[in-house]
Structure 1
Amino acid sequence: MDYLPLFFDLKTKPCLVVGGGTIATRKARLLAKAGACISVVAPDAQDELAQLVKSSGGQLHTQDYSSALIGQSVLVISATDIESVNRQVSEDCHARQIPVNVVDSPALCSVITPAIVDRSPLIIAASSGGESPVLARRVRTQLESTFPASYGRLAKFASRFRDAVKSRFSDGEQRRRFWESVLGGTIAEQVLAGSESEAEIALQKRITAGDVADRGEVYLVGAGPGDPDLLTFKALRLMQQAEVVLYDRLVSEPILEMVRRDADRIYVGKRRSEHTMPQEQINQLLLRLAQEGKRVLRLKGGDPFIFGRGGEEIDLLAAHQIPFQVVPGITAASGCSAYAGIPLTHRDYSSSVRFITGHLKNGEVNFDWQEFVADHQTLVFYMGLVGLEQICTKMIEFGKPADTPVALVERGTLPTQVVHTGTLASMPMKVKNTEIHAPTLLIIGGVVALHKSLGWFKR
């Protein structure tokens, strides 16, 4: 380990910044966040930097650097573009044993500033020891996506109950298990979701009862159309803390790999005419696992409330007073159309869009077809591959022009995505003569014509 990570309390303490440009201003912002009293020495300073000095109670010295200005500083940052000045600042600080950071010059530093994820009072710092600042910033970006902004609120919430928990659980191991259960369970989720008053009541009850274990909960999470980069922060967080995962066939393998490693996985997928587990049995399984005290993730392709039968699953949970959370996902219509370069609405082509299930019932697709043939609308059929021929035929029969553009998006948003285009008249024969793999999405309307100009780029 080249450096020992430490966190300094700089509240009201004098800190000196040498330099008045953009980088100096950036460093001063960090010091201001930490509550430092900032002084700056530079012949000329940016307006924002001067304001930071004033608001912190420090002094602005519009002159060249002089070692006398170090004074009682507890930290000095040199951020000039003059190498001789930076070197002199470093030497002066080392002679006085004052921590010094010289921007982009690790050899002149006694301390370095890391890339910071600020979830105060939770602070996360990443550093490459000055070897690769860009890499450290990339790590910070990844951490930003892992820890939501509300983690700071959770840390403050937990701190209010430390003394009460310590009094209730004299054994250190019990306290550890209690806090692990709280911070990884329902109470923490309530705080993160903004229901802090409910969380406070629940935590008080658990402290009073001396209850170390948490109760079960279900997370109904939309996994989106396939590309793991389309997951929400909240979805990823819940995926990482679930103990049991029920997933369907529309959940891509890269997304499944992001689930907590030691979680039990149960496949409950469905194919046409092949139900691995009937929906009623899935509902009962969710209920049973939650009643056993498990944190259960129901991971569904797309959005759980758009042709995902999510409403049926939470009906049973609500009836048995099982806590649950619903996390929306990017539905296939939105994700696949965007990746195909087909806007679902466009001022010149479509002012409305319909989402329609293309599932056959008794071998037929039964709709009020007259509603579908109106101009200036986009129709999106989910799971429409099997019924495609009937859909196209009926649309033409009820008056939709035979040359209306049609797109069939195959494995949308994945690296293997293929977009097949044609018209209501030509698409059935095109599909018959082409090997196509589910999942697919059928888009009908004038907006499909834009695929040629908007869908060319590589991802």
Structure 2
Amino acid sequence: MSLPALPLFHRIAGQPVIVLGHGEAAQAKRRLVERAGGQVIEDLAHGIDIGARLAFIAHDNPEACSADALRARGAGLLVNVVDRPALCDFTTPSLVDRSPVVVAVGTAGASAGLAKHVRLRLERALPQGLGALADALYAAREALRARFPDGADRRRALDTALGEGGALDPMVAHGADAVALWLDGAADVAPAHHVIALRSADPEDLTLREARLLGMADAVVADPAIPGAILARARADAQRLPPGAPLPDGLTVELRLPA
């Protein structure tokens, strides 16, 4: 049984990363490190001496893998042993690259094949211009702050624009000036309060609209009995409030238990 994992993006540009082994599996890890700008180090002792923090181990010999994993971990490195999830501190996901947008599909080591086929579906769904949209939004940060000085208003405006069918829907191809045109015509976004009457404890029973609202909410009003699986659909940084609490500014979603 695979264990839960915390997904992270780790910057390694210019940093030493140990890659041990020969053959295609090791070469694949070298390419992965080089693509992220890391410096491939093929000697474990040297890598430890110069401050490497990550180690990929891809020996054909299982005993050699176990021995080097033990040495690397003892030196404080995080270790990935190819095809040996029980020896891994981290796993490498299957990537959809629309730089700077990168979608990582992982299964905590359960099935690389499953991750690959999910990635292939996403490759077909995500427009090639998604990275350009991200760059345009980054370049427009100051203009966004000027147009929407309040952070909550800014977030709601972006949520509306980036939502399904919105002016900047990320699943649709856009022209180079799409962000600028949207900013010129963006309307003020008023605070809103929405009530979701749950039909069951299963998050799959949420409608698309309800799931979208929950994922966008600045605050969630919920009885302690609301199932954790439902609350997990909300943003991690959204306020959690008990029923009857004063409502803050911003988009608030109130969850109510089924009758």
TM-score (norm 1): 0.38
C-alpha deviation, 1:189, in angstroms: 7.3
Deviations 1:164-191 (A, max 9, x none): 2123212233112211233243355798
| Of 151, 162, 169, the match for 1:172 | 151
Gap change, CA 1:200 and 1:135, over 3 Å in 2: closer
Per the alignment, residue 246 of structure 2 pairs with none
Per the alignment, residue 63 of structure 2 pairs with 84
Contact 2:20 2:59 in 1 (8 A): yes
Gap change, CA 1:191 and 1:107, over 3 Å in 2: closer
Per the alignment, residue 30 of structure 2 pairs with 28
Structure 1 residue matching 2:34: 3-state secondary structure = helix
Counterpart Cα distance in 2 of 1:170 and 1:80:
55
Contact 2:126 2:171 in 1 (8 A): no
Equivalent pairs counted in the alignment come to: 187
Per the alignment, residue 2 of structure 1 pairs with 4
Contact 1:153 1:191 in 2 (8 A): no
C-alpha deviation, 1:31, in angstroms: 1.1
C-alpha deviation, 1:159, in angstroms: 0.9
| Of 120, 125, 142, the match for 2:99 | 120
Contact 2:48 2:75 in 1 (8 A): no
Determine what percentage of the aligned residue pairs are the same residue. 33
| Of 141, 154, 160, the match for 2:120 | 141
Contact 2:18 2:42 in 1 (8 A): yes
Contact 1:20 1:40 in 2 (8 A): no
Structure 1 residue matching 2:29: 3-state secondary structure = helix
Per the alignment, residue 291 of structure 1 pairs with none
Counterpart Cα distance in 2 of 1:178 and 1:201:
14
User: CA RMSD, aligned part only?
Assistant: 2.5
Gap change, CA 1:6 and 1:29, over 3 Å in 2: same
Q: Check if 1:70 corresponds to 2:48.
A: yes
Q: Give the letter for the 2:187 counterpart.
A: D
Contact 1:190 1:199 in 2 (8 A): no
Q: Check if 1:16 corresponds to 2:18.
A: yes
Q: Check if 1:163 corresponds to 2:142.
A: yes
Q: Check if 1:103 corresponds to 2:82.
A: yes
Counterpart Cα distance in 2 of 1:139 and 1:190:
17
Q: Check if 1:211 corresponds to 2:187.
A: yes
Gap change, CA 1:159 and 1:191, over 3 Å in 2: farther
C-alpha deviation, 1:126, in angstroms: 1.6
Counterpart Cα distance in 2 of 1:165 and 1:137:
37
Structure 2 residue matching 1:192: 3-state secondary structure = coil
Which residues in structure 2 correspond to 1:218-367 (within 5 Å)? none
Counterpart Cα distance in 2 of 1:173 and 1:69:
45
Q: Give the letter for the 2:41 counterpart.
A: S
Gaps of 5+ in 2: 190-206, 210-259
Structure 2 residue matching 1:124: 3-state secondary structure = strand
Gap change, CA 1:155 and 1:138, over 3 Å in 2: same
Counterpart Cα distance in 2 of 1:3 and 1:189:
27
Gap change, CA 1:39 and 1:166, over 3 Å in 2: same
| Of 185, 192, 198, the match for 2:173 | 192
C-alpha deviation, 1:12, in angstroms: 0.4
Counterpart Cα distance in 1 of 2:171 and 2:6:
36
Gap change, CA 1:170 and 1:136, over 3 Å in 2: same
Counterpart Cα distance in 2 of 1:172 and 1:69:
44
Counterpart Cα distance in 2 of 1:104 and 1:170:
50
Bigger relative contact order (CA 8 A; separation at least 6): 2
Structure 1 residue matching 2:127: 3-state secondary structure = coil
Is the radius of gyration larger for structure 1 or structure 2?
Answer: 1
| Of 183, 191, 210, the match for 2:162 | 183
Gaps of 5+ in 1: 42-65, 214-259, 263-459
Contact 1:15 1:74 in 2 (8 A): yes
Deviations 1:347-387 (A, max 9, x none): xxxxxxxxxxxxxxxxxxxxxxxxxxxxxxxxxxxxxxxxx
Structure 2 residue matching 1:186: 3-state secondary structure = coil
Q: Give the letter for the 1:34 counterpart.
A: A
Structure 2 residue matching 1:175: 3-state secondary structure = helix
Gap change, CA 1:105 and 1:5, over 3 Å in 2: same
